[in-house]
Amino acid sequence: MVLEVLVEVLVFYLIEKELKIVQLENIILKD
């Protein structure tokens, strides 16, 4: 189903976004 694919893509995008935010926070804290 197309809906299942959309959900998977959305979840993947959100996880990637969260990881990038965490990395940015770590960089900021190191400085």
Residue 1 in 3-state DSSP?
A: coil
pLDDT in tens, 1-31: 899 999 999 999 999 999 999 999 999 988 7
- The Cα 27–Cα 18 span in angstroms is 14
The pLDDT score that the predictor gives to residue 1 is 81
pLDDT at 13: 97
The pLDDT score that the predictor gives to residue 14 is 97
Question: How far apart (Å, rounded) are the C-alpha atoms in residues 20 and 11?
Answer: 14
Give the phi and the psi of residue 17 in degrees, each rounded to 5: -60, -45
Q: What is the DSSP string of 1-31?
A: -HHHHHHHHHHHHHHHHHHHHHHHHHHHHH-
Q: Output the pLDDT for position 30.
A: 83
